[in-house]
């Protein structure tokens, strides 16, 4: 298994570029199941999760071809509407094939994703939405089998905001008979990007980006030809790297409009930030100031930036409070940050981060995607060498992060263990 070897203590400086958004690309690729033919996508990040989604589609009978940042998905008139456990267990987001398969083929058998490091992450809301649209749902042997002759429009109120739950419901409703209204729908930019692409395929959707989305079902859809939005979480992670190292970085293509809450916190912590339609420029202070942060659904502070913010607050002046409101177990990075000398205590859903003057490099282990990013950030600031093992977690959601950081002057290299 690969590891990243980091020699910290250097400010990172220069220009880097954000890649396409993982959490937009995954449902967007799955949406190609909604109509036969060749769908074309651009700005698709090179990530193991994207490769897993392409592999899943290939197992169903589709053909996925990549040329640079472009991916073409050829969908035959009939596919094998199944997502096996062997694949779903490696990427829970595979569950987003459920909605499109059911809408297009009237039948789908998808492995239950099971829990993961950050929480139980059930899919009850996904199933509630599909049942409301007329699907017959059967759970057995760790699989969901969903059947429906023709889905019918319905009014669906989500008990809590769910990103992929909203996406599954959206992709099922676009081919349903009649009108569907989603209430308490997710407003994340990645959901907006999916909906925008579906409209490009001929779907009739109103209210995207708001908690009330209305979908008028159509008999069939055309083909996708879409460029994936920039990854706000990767952009936030790169900006956090400049913040913790007292660096000076311009992130080209960073989506300012999707990062307001993150930029607000980085500014509050003492960073100087300039935004333009070309990207975001951040200069880190010699030492960050402590802040208080609560993760929330978009447009609030994103849970996917919580671990990264906690890492950079480890050396801030003062005591910070980090409250995780979305997932029940998203503090796996705390123990590993402690190995680098961070002073963090957890009580319930709140972590108290007492800023220390400096961190010391040590071997640490990644436990999940964003935790691995937080350990890299801490390693960039720590004195001496930090080795982050199990970076396969990182490769799920960051395209060549070590290359991007090395180009900005960081001493980081991948070692094969
Ligand atoms: C998406 O996961 C993202 N993944 C996650 O990013 C992100 O952290 C999360 O949204 C929240 O923003 C993708 O888009 C592929 P949820 P998702 O359904 O859809 C509970 C990353 O690091 N819930 O919005 O699975 C759930 O347990 C990943 O890139 C139910 O109880 O998250 C959680 O506590 C990690 N029942 C909360 O809702 C349901 O049926 C939000 O989950 C669905 C969700």
Span 5-22, pLDDT tens digits:
999 999 999 999 999 999
Per-residue confidence (pLDDT) for residue 117, from 0 to 100: 74
For residue 368, the Cα-to-chain-centroid distance in whole angstroms is 12
Please, are residues 232 and 21 in contact by the beta-carbon 8 Å criterion? yes
Please, are residues 94 and 87 in contact by the beta-carbon 8 Å criterion? yes
Angle at CA of residue 83, ends 372 and 87, nearest 5°: 35
Ligand 1 binding pocket includes 122 (Cβ within 6 Å): yes
Ligand 1 binding pocket includes 330 (Cβ within 6 Å): no
Mean pLDDT of 212-233: 98
Mean pLDDT of 297-303: 98
Ligand 1 binding pocket includes 125 (Cβ within 6 Å): yes
Mean pLDDT of 218-243: 98
Q: Whose CA is closest to atom 18 on ligand 1?
A: 162
Instruction: Tell me the best of 91, 96, 161, 163 to mutate to test the pocket of ligand 1, counting ligand atoms within 8 Å of each CB and taking the most.
Output: 163
Q: Whose CA is closest to atom 13 on ligand 1?
A: 23
Mean pLDDT of 328-356: 97
| DSSP string for residues in 81-127 | -EE-HHHHTT-GGGGGGHHHHHHHHSEEEEE----BTTB----HHHH
CA 163 / ligand 1 centre spacing (Å)? 6
Per-residue confidence (pLDDT) for residue 190, from 0 to 100: 98
Mean per-residue pLDDT over the chain, rounded: 97
Per-residue confidence (pLDDT) for residue 113, from 0 to 100: 86
Per-residue confidence (pLDDT) for residue 238, from 0 to 100: 98
| Ramachandran class of 383: left when φ > 0, alpha when ψ lies in -120 to 50, beta otherwise | beta
Per-residue confidence (pLDDT) for residue 17, from 0 to 100: 98
Tokens standing for 208? 């995207």
Model's pTM, two decimal places?
0.98
CA 64 / ligand 1 centre spacing (Å)? 26
CA 164 / ligand 1 centre spacing (Å)? 7
Q: Does the N-terminal peptide bond of residue 282 adopt cis geometry, omega within 30 degrees of 0?
A: no
- 398 — pLDDT class (breaks 50, 70, 90): very high
Q: Is 116 a catalytic residue?
A: yes
Ligand 1 binding pocket includes 369 (Cβ within 6 Å): yes
Between these two residues, 115 and 384, which has the higher pLDDT value? 384
Ligand 1 binding pocket includes 121 (Cβ within 6 Å): yes
Per-residue confidence (pLDDT) for residue 118, from 0 to 100: 79
Mean pLDDT of 171-177: 98
Tokens standing for 316? 């801030």
Residues 6+ apart with CB under 8 A from 248: 11, 13, 242, 281, 282, 283, 284
Cα–Cα distance for residue pair 208/51, rounded to 1 Å: 28
In the chain, what is the straight-line distance between the N-terminal and C-terminal CA atoms, in Å?
A: 5
Per-residue confidence (pLDDT) for residue 120, from 0 to 100: 74
Please, are residues 112 and 144 in contact by the beta-carbon 8 Å criterion? yes
CA 123 / ligand 1 centre spacing (Å)? 9
Cα–Cα distance for residue pair 59/75, rounded to 1 Å: 12
The SS3 of residue 211 is coil
CA 327 / ligand 1 centre spacing (Å)? 8
pLDDT of 115 > 90? The answer is no
Active-site hit among 54, 62, 116, 187? 116
Per-residue confidence (pLDDT) for residue 386, from 0 to 100: 98
- 116 — pLDDT class (breaks 50, 70, 90): confident
In this predicted model, what pLDDT tens digit does every residue of 45-56 receive, in sequence order?
A: 999 999 999 999
Cα 397 to Cα 20, 203, 209, 227, 263: the distances in Å are 10, 29, 23, 18, 21
């Amino acid at each position: 298994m690969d590891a990243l070897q980091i020699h910290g203590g250097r400010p990172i400086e220069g220009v880097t570029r954000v890649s396409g958004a993982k959490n937009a690309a995954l449902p967007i690729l799955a949406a190609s199941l909604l109509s036969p033919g060749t769908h074309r996508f651009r700005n698709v990040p090179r990530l193991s999760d994207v490769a897993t989604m392409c592999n899943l589609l290939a197992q169903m009978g589709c053909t996925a071809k990549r040329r640079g940042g472009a991916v073409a998905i050829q969908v035959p008139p009939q596919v094998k509407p199944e997502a096996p456990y062997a694949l779903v267990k490696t990427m829970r987001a595979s569950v987003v094939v459920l909605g499109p398969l059911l809408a297009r083929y009237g039948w789908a058998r998808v492995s239950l994703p099971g829990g993961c490091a950050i929480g139980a992450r059930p899919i009850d809301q996904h199933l509630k939405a599909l049942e409301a649209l007329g699907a017959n749902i059967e759970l057995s042997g760790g699989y969901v089998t969903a059947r429906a002759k023709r889905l019918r429009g319905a009014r669906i109120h989500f008990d809590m905001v769910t990103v992929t739950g909203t996406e599954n419901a959206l992709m099922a409703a676009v081919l349903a008979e009649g009108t569907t209204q989603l209430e308490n729908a997710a407003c994340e930019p990645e959901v907006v990007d999916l909906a925008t692409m579906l409209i490009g395929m001929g779907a009739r959707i109103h209210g995207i980006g708001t908690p009330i989305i209305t979908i008028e079902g159509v008999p069939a859809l055309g083909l996708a030809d879409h460029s994936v939005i920039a990854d706000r979480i990767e952009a936030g992670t790169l900006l956090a790297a400049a913040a913790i190292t007292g660096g000076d970085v311009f992130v080209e293509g960073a989506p300012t409009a999707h990062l307001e809450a993150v930029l607000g916190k980085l500014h509050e912590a003492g960073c100087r930030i300039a935004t333009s339609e070309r990207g975001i420029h951040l200069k880190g202070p010699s030492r960050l100031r402590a802040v208080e942060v609560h993760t929330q659904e978009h447009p609030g502070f994103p849970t996917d930036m919580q671990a990264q913010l906690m890492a950079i607050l480890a050396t801030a002046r003062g005591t910070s409070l980090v409250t995780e409101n979305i997932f029940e177990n998203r503090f796996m990075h705390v123990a590993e940050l402690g190995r680098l000398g961070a002073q963090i205590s957890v009580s319930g859903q709140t972590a108290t981060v007492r800023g220390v003057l400096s961190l010391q490099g040590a071997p640490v282990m990644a436990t999940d995607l964003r935790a691995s990013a937080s350990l890299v950030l801490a390693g960039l600031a720590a004195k001496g060498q930090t080795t982050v093992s199990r970076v396969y977690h990182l490769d799920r959601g960051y395209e060549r992060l070590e290359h991007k950081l090395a180009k900005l002057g960081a001493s980081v290299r991948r070692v094969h263990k």
